[in-house]
Structure 1
Amino acid sequence: MSLKDQATRVAVLRVLRDAVDAEYEAARRTMLGGLRAARAELDLKSIRATLPDHTPIATITLIDPRPTVVIADEHAFLTWVAENHPSEVETLTRVRPCWQREFLTRLACLDPVTDPHTGEVIPGLAATPAPPPRSFSLRPVPGGPEKVTRAWRAGELDLRQLLTLDGGAT
């Protein structure tokens, strides 16, 4: 292959890669919207991806964010930590960030937020509900990628249908 042929190949593959990346991101957004709707409507969290002949190739699953405890009132929380865990308050009058992160992760996301040892309500903290899922995982089934490759090579997958270079209909 000549240098000119290699240059053409690299340029074409770059255009195709960018097109595939754009289609993939659009397909992910559409899939996420569909999964969120299916979760709300049918309490469905996962779906199996199959080839046209129904051979399973992957499982797509919503990733549920976890609820978190946040500091709703910095001063109230600081005052509580100073009274209950004085060694964790720095002289510049703030809760040590590494302790704060670790402490917040140990708390139950219940409102009001309470100390797990004493049951006392911790001033300045609030529990926030988990946001809607922002992503999903795609786990190929064993042998799934090889099955996709075989189906592509055998002409069983229509890449014109899966990938449109102009973003429109094929």
Structure 2
Amino acid sequence: MNLKDIAARTAVLTALAEVVDKELKDAKKELQEGLKAAKSETGTQKIGIALEEGQDIGTVSLVQPKAAAAITDPEKFLAWVREVRPTEVVTRLVTEVRPSWSSLVLKQISAAGAAQWADPENGVIHDVPGVELQGRAAYTRMTVPDAGRDAIAEAWRTGQLAHLNLLQIEAGEAS
């Protein structure tokens, strides 16, 4: 392949990648909305993915992460840590709780499911001010094993994906 052909190939692939990226974002959004609707209507959170001829190529599921602890009022949290674990407070120009200890406490609170911390040295359970459990957004997880990817590639090569209406590129769209 000469340099002119390489440049043309690169330009075409770049334009196609831009269109595919946009289409992929739109498709993922539509898929997530569909999975959320299916969950609320029927409880369905996972579906199989198949090509037109029924060959299974993977699965997609709606994942709802557990709520995680987050510091919502740093001043209250700092005051509490100063009281129960002053060695975990670092004073510089700015006074803050050691990030490693904050992370440890937030992980323990997330695991417990309540803004409380059990002191391992004396067993005292503390209500932790300035920390709340916050919900996290659901997301989709798609699993397409190598065999599924191979099946997709073969279906692409043999023209069996037309029913999916993958790309309709309009003039000016890939700019």
Q: Which residue of structure 1 lines up, in the alignment, with residue 128 of structure 2? A: 122
Residue 163 (structure 2) pairs with residue 163 (structure 1): no
Q: 1:76 to 1:3 in 2, by over 3 A?
A: closer
Give ranges in structure 2 of 5+ residues lacking alignment: none
TM-aligned CA distance change 1:11 to 1:73, over 3 Å: closer
Runs of 4+ in 1 over 4 A off after TM superposition: none
Deviations 1:15-70 (A, max 9, x none): 12221121111111111111121122222221111000111111112232331112
Residue aligning to 1:154 = 158
Percent identity over the alignment is 33
Structure 2 equivalent of residue 131 of structure 1? 136
The answer on 1:96 being equivalent to 2:98 is yes
Q: Which residue of 2 aligns with 1:144?
A: 148
Call closer, same or farther: CA 1:94–1:152 in 2, change over 3 Å.
Answer: closer
Residues in 2 aligned to 1:160 and 1:91: alpha-carbon distance in whole angstroms: 60
TM-score by length of 1: 0.83
- How many aligned positions are there? 163
**What is the CA RMSD across the aligned residues, in angstroms?**
2.2
| CA distances 1:106-153 after superposition (whole Å, capped 9, x unpaired) | 11232xx1122422322232222x2331x3221114510111122222
CA 1:156–1:120 in structure 2 vs 1: closer, same or farther (change >3 Å)?
same
Cα distance change on mapping 1:69 and 1:160 into 2, 3 Å: closer
TM-score calculated relative to the size of structure 2? 0.81
Counterpart secondary structure, 2:65: coil
